[in-house]
Amino acid sequence: MAHVIAADKCVACGCCKDACPAEAISDGDVYKIDPEKCVDCGACAATCPNGAISQG
């Protein structure tokens, strides 16, 4: 199952996007993970400084 980003914790710092090997994260005011592209590796969650990413 794809990871998800909690909008209330995301500060759009870009760490998760830079860490994603599948390029599944799009930027904006709040970043979003495309579940079709996500390979569920957890790299984004491991790098998020705010703990905003969890397994969906």
The pLDDT tens digits for 11-56 are 999 999 999 999 999 999 999 999 999 999 999 999 999 999 999 8
The CATH number that applies at residue 45 is 3.30.70.20
8 — phi, psi (to 5°)? -75, -15
Q: What are the counts of helices (DSSP H) followed by strands (DSSP E) for the chain?
A: 2, 4
Q: What is the largest CA-CA distance in the chain?
A: 24
Q: Which domain holds residue 13?
A: 3-55
Question: Are the C-beta atoms of 54 and 7 separated by less than 8 Å?
Answer: no
| Exposure string for 26-43, b = 16+ CB within 10 A, e = fewer | eeeeebebeeeebeeeeb
State the pLDDT at residue 20. Answer: 98
State the pLDDT at residue 1. Answer: 78
* Domain count across the chain: 1
Can you name the residues that pair with 5 across neighbouring β-strands? 53
